[in-house]
Structure 1
Amino acid sequence: MLFILKKTVGGLLLPLPFILLIMAFALVLLWMTRWQKTGKVCFSLSWLLLLLLSLQPVADSLLRPIESEYPTYQPQAHPPVKYVVVLGGGYTFNPDWAPSSNLISNSLPRVAEGIRIYRANPGAKLIFTGGAAMTNPVSSAAVAGKVAESLGVPESDILLLDKPKDTHEESQQVKMLIGQQPFVLVTSANHLPRAMIFFHQQGLSPIPAPANQLAIDSPLNPWERTLPQALYFSHSERAWYETLGRAWQWLSRDKAAAD
């Protein structure tokens, strides 16, 4: 119940639902009350927020500090490891699709980076985490494992942790499976700082490996920087989501300490 409540409230606080709620409130004021000026101000501010969060310079400036905390994993800079842990993300499952098409958004880059690191560490095992969605009988970990197999990873080198519902539970399950053995932790660059905290709280010391970097540093065409786009709004959403996640993580830690 707490998990569902957390996801529901967190979802409503994401940029698009939050902005739409402000707009709806503004329309109620404009159409059903005498608070015309307040309604106009709320609607104008929500429109401006939607515009700004859809612009590349704004969106990527919000996301870049989160993504740049850890550098890309370089095999020569670290001792060999026996385990590469790839955290679960968005997915679906349609057996008629190409295997990789079942990994949505952030998940496919995570798996691809995990396979790169696995191949740089001969003899290592790939661990995929992530439970099944409420309406899906196949887990996130299982789908990622199928994709890895389709890309040439032997089934014997794949381990699945298909029960965890969130990053906190993933860190607990990884500790139960491999204990204190060194491992590489692969997840999206914007998610990695929060994930590392969960794993450190378990007394583990993973080697960070960011994947799926989104904030653009390379040159862009002028119109890509000045026209609002849904792509860049999604970058703002990731920054917003991870900021909310860190706030919840901090509150949960304080509550656990108090208990």
Structure 2
Amino acid sequence: MLFTLKKVTGGLLLPLPFLLLMMGLAIALLWFSRFQKTGKGLMTASWVILLLLSLQPVADGLLKPIENRYPTLHTSQPVKYIVVLGGGYTWNPDWAPSSNLIGNSLPRVTEGVRLWLANPGAKMIFTGAPARTNPVSTAEAGARVAESLGVPRSSILTLDTPKDTEEEAAAVAAAIGKEPFILITSASHLPRAMIFFRQQGLNPIPAPANQLAIASPLNFWERIIPSPTWLMHSDRVAYETLGRIWQWLKGVSGEPGEK
């Protein structure tokens, strides 16, 4: 129940649903109340914020400091395990395996395979529980994609009970103990994930994937025209900020061994 409440509440606080709710409230005030100035002000503010969060300089300016916390892992490190955290997915057996990984999931898996190729003696660990109506778990979907890319099934482990990052950290700790490992997740998610894993007494080697904030040159129109792509980047900022606030409310400080 708490998990569902957390997901629903957090989802409504993300930029698009929250601003749509504010616009809906503004429309209600304009049509059905005498608070016309309040309605106009709320509508204007919501529109301006939505516009700004849909522009590349604003969205990537907010996202870049989060993603830049850990650099890409370029060197091969001798470890026994490579842990790939689960993300969005579905499962349709008629699709190409990679088509079942949604959004941030596929870059995580491909980065995991890249690092496994540099360290083929390691085992890949995929985490994540199944969606309520899905017969295949997040972990299993990622594992099947890795297998389709050449990783033998004997080199793959799945942990398919964790529902969120905190549970993933606990499951990995229970499965491998204090063994050194590489931790792969989205660059924006990695700082928060590292906190949970360190709280378990682990010291993973961070390996970010799915970097989104663009630092390379863009055409000028890509920087000035609002786009759902940039709004998605702003969404990642909001999602991780809300997640970090939740960690703080639970008393997780971010320092190893402290709560």
TM over 0.5, yes or no?
yes
Partner residue in 2 for 1:126: 124
Partner residue in 2 for 1:216: 214
C-alpha distance in structure 1 between counterparts of 2:242 and 2:202, whole Å: 24
Aligned residues: 254
How is 1:27-66 mapped onto 2 (pairs within 5 angstroms)?
27-66=27-66
C-alpha distance in structure 2 between counterparts of 1:240 and 1:33, whole Å: 31
Partner residue in 1 for 2:164: 166
C-alpha distance in structure 2 between counterparts of 1:82 and 1:199, whole Å: 17
Partner residue in 2 for 1:205: 203
Q: Specify the code of the residue in structure 2 equivalent to 1:19.
A: L
How is 1:129-208 mapped onto 2 (pairs within 5 angstroms)?
129-208=127-206
Residue deviations 1:112-170 (CA, integer Å, cap 9, x gap)? 00011111113100000000012212100000011011101000000000010000000
- The offset of 1:231, in angstroms, is 0.3
Q: Secondary structure at the match of 2:71?
A: coil
Residue deviations 1:189-218 (CA, integer Å, cap 9, x gap)? 000000000000000000000000000000
C-alpha distance in structure 1 between counterparts of 2:101 and 2:35, whole Å: 47
C-alpha distance in structure 1 between counterparts of 2:143 and 2:224, whole Å: 40
Partner residue in 2 for 1:230: 228
- The offset of 1:254, in angstroms, is 6.0
Q: Specify the code of the residue in structure 1 equivalent to 2:46.
A: S
Q: Secondary structure at the match of 1:208?
A: strand
- The offset of 1:252, in angstroms, is 1.1
C-alpha distance in structure 2 between counterparts of 1:180 and 1:99, whole Å: 32
Q: Secondary structure at the match of 1:75?
A: coil
Partner residue in 2 for 1:70: 70
Q: Secondary structure at the match of 1:204?
A: coil
Q: Specify the code of the residue in structure 2 equivalent to 1:57.
A: P
Q: Specify the code of the residue in structure 1 equivalent to 2:18.
A: F
Partner residue in 1 for 2:4: 4
Q: Identity over aligned residues, as a percent?
A: 67
Q: Specify the code of the residue in structure 1 equivalent to 2:133.
A: T
The alignment yields a C-alpha RMSD, in angstroms, of 1.2
Residue deviations 1:81-104 (CA, integer Å, cap 9, x gap)? 010000000000000000000000
- The offset of 1:8, in angstroms, is 0.5
- The offset of 1:253, in angstroms, is 2.0
Structure 2, unpaired ranges of 5+: 254-258
Q: Secondary structure at the match of 1:160?
A: strand
**Are positions 1:103 and 2:96 aligned together?**
no
- The offset of 1:74, in angstroms, is 1.9
Q: Specify the code of the residue in structure 2 equivalent to 1:46.
A: S
- The offset of 1:13, in angstroms, is 0.3
Q: Specify the code of the residue in structure 2 equivalent to 1:104.
A: I
Structure 1, unpaired ranges of 5+: none
Residue deviations 1:28-82 (CA, integer Å, cap 9, x gap)? 1100110001100000000001100000000000100000000000225xx4101
Partner residue in 2 for 1:22: 22
Q: Secondary structure at the match of 1:84?
A: strand
